[in-house]
Structure 1
Amino acid sequence: MRSIFIFVFVLFVGKITSQTNFSAGVLPKVVTSFKISPKMKWVNSIESREFFYDEKFELTHSLVDVSTIFSLKTEMNNKLNFGFIFRFKDGEVEYRSLQHYNIIHSLEQFQMGHRFAFEQFYDDVINLRGRYRFTIQRALNGDKIDVFEWYLKLSNEYLWQFNDENLEIRLAPNLGYRLSKRNKIEFGVEYRAANFIRELNKNELWMRCTMYISL
């Protein structure tokens, strides 16, 4: 598995260096969740997007995403999410609705997750997007993630824009730390390659920091 990730990393680095349309930035994010019932949670998040390189090195504010999602546990390890995302950009507000289905498999030393998503963007016309994300997570000490311990999380996601037939691929290695039974923080990078099948004409590298708070 380590060889596979090294191969993918080298492939993506080669793609970055061979293209001129490249940008980089930071994505700070805070996620809060509130337990409504034994099977339902209310999850809210706010994420800012800040560029520090876009054709030149300069700190530039891009947008803010605010989401509100209801998460329903359908089976022991499966969840159905539905909610909205509000994007604040250039003095305007964009609206998006979403539906996610999450499947989690817990093994001896690993936890694997699959997320199938469908999203609707509301503009002059409704734009549709499908998403699939695979995630694998492992404790760095022992077989499970205990309080005050680090863990590794790797994810690979594919996003398909139905209206303009555009594929985007995302690869994100993250290092997490469990602060308490309810709270954790993750640091990592995320590489995004847009229009991947026809021609790679846009690629981005993001530095991520995400705080998870369970109330």
Structure 2
Amino acid sequence: MLFVISVQAQSVFQVGILPSAVLTDKKENDWSVIYEIDSRQLLSKGTFNGFTENKYEYFLTDFSVLGAKKISPKSRLAGGYLLRIEQDKIFHRFIQQYTYTHQLDSLALSHRFSSDQTFSPAEKPEFRLRYRLATEIPLAGKTVDADELYFKISNEYLNSWQDSEYDLEMRLVPLLGFNFRNDKKVEMGMDYRLDSFLQNNTRHSFWMNVNLLIEL
């Protein structure tokens, strides 16, 4: 419904690719260190009822590292740092996360609550509160085994405060993945984001995800 209403209101869109690589290094005593790099590349932008510009444009690159500790069989705490390079701007982000997995029959629901604080000499500080609900569904059997396909979907809500201005962003990310035997996964799908609709300046973002996940 929000998509239909915002399209009618002369909203803008952007389309691009978002490849990422995630390396999880498991340590002793239920600790792990997570390294991630992702980069957004813009391919097209415009308005739904107006112009469209098809042109490649480098958008940004993120480098992050998180330390995570499993505090129970179903929950985990994590915290870390992200460095963002956006054209001629540098951003520093500090991240705190709590993840809880709820088993519902044969379906596992992952709830992630997180906050982050972003600082840059070029902009005012930004503070966000986030909630994400995700699940992973095997396409063969009851669990995701080696050499099998799976479907993953997540829905996230991001509350943002910057210089006394509030914004809400919604994300829907369906992915098709393949689990290899050597603790590697590859996922592909669409990352759809809707934001700025509270200020009547709605923006739709469509990012093609290509993710490589490796565990050590």
In the superposition, the TM-score normalised over structure 1's length comes to: 0.89
- Structure 1: runs of 5 or more not aligned: 1-10
Distance 1:15 1:191 in 2: 16
Match of 2:4 among 4, 10, 14: 14
> Deviation at 1:183?
1.2
**Structure 2 SS opposite 1:129:** strand
Contact 2:70 2:76 survives alignment (8 Å): yes
Aligned equivalent of 1:131: 130
Distance 1:189 1:16 in 2: 19
Residues 174 and 12 (structure 1), Cα distance of their counterparts in 2 relative to 1, 3 Å cut: farther
Contact 1:135 1:154 survives alignment (8 Å): yes
Q: Which amino acid aligns with 2:167?
A: N
Between 165-174 and 54-63, report the one with greater CA deviation: 54-63
Q: Which amino acid aligns with 2:175?
A: N
Aligned equivalent of 2:168: 167
> Deviation at 1:16?
6.4
Aligned equivalent of 2:50: none
Once the two structures are superposed, residues 175-200 of structure 1 have per-residue CA deviations (whole angstroms, 9 ceiling, x without a partner) of: 11101252111111011110234535
Task: Give matches, 1:7-46, under 5 Å.
Answer: 11=1, 14-15=4-5, 17-18=7-8, 19-46=10-37
Aligned equivalent of 2:60: 63
> Deviation at 1:15?
4.9
Distance 1:149 1:107 in 2: 22
- Structure 2: runs of 5 or more not aligned: 47-52
Q: Which amino acid aligns with 1:189?
A: M
How high is the sequence identity, in percent, across the aligned residues?
28
| Structure 1 segments (4+ residues) deviating >6 Å | none
In the superposition, the TM-score normalised over structure 2's length comes to: 0.89
Once the two structures are superposed, residues 57-111 of structure 1 have per-residue CA deviations (whole angstroms, 9 ceiling, x without a partner) of: 1111111000000011011110111000100112332100000100112344211
Matched, 1:47 2:44: no
> Deviation at 1:20?
3.6
Residues 16 and 190 (structure 1), Cα distance of their counterparts in 2 relative to 1, 3 Å cut: farther
**Structure 2 SS opposite 1:144:** coil
Distance 1:134 1:172 in 2: 11
Distance 1:12 1:175 in 2: 25
Matched, 1:191 2:181: no
Aligned equivalent of 1:77: 74
Distance 2:105 2:142 in 1: 7
> Deviation at 1:14?
2.7
Distance 1:203 1:209 in 2: 19
Aligned equivalent of 1:158: 157
> Deviation at 1:17?
4.2
Aligned equivalent of 1:7: none
**Structure 2 SS opposite 1:14:** helix
Contact 1:109 1:139 survives alignment (8 Å): no
Q: Which amino acid aligns with 2:4?
A: G
Which structure dedicates a bigger proportion of its chain to strand? 2
Residues 71 and 59 (structure 1), Cα distance of their counterparts in 2 relative to 1, 3 Å cut: same
Distance 1:166 1:174 in 2: 26
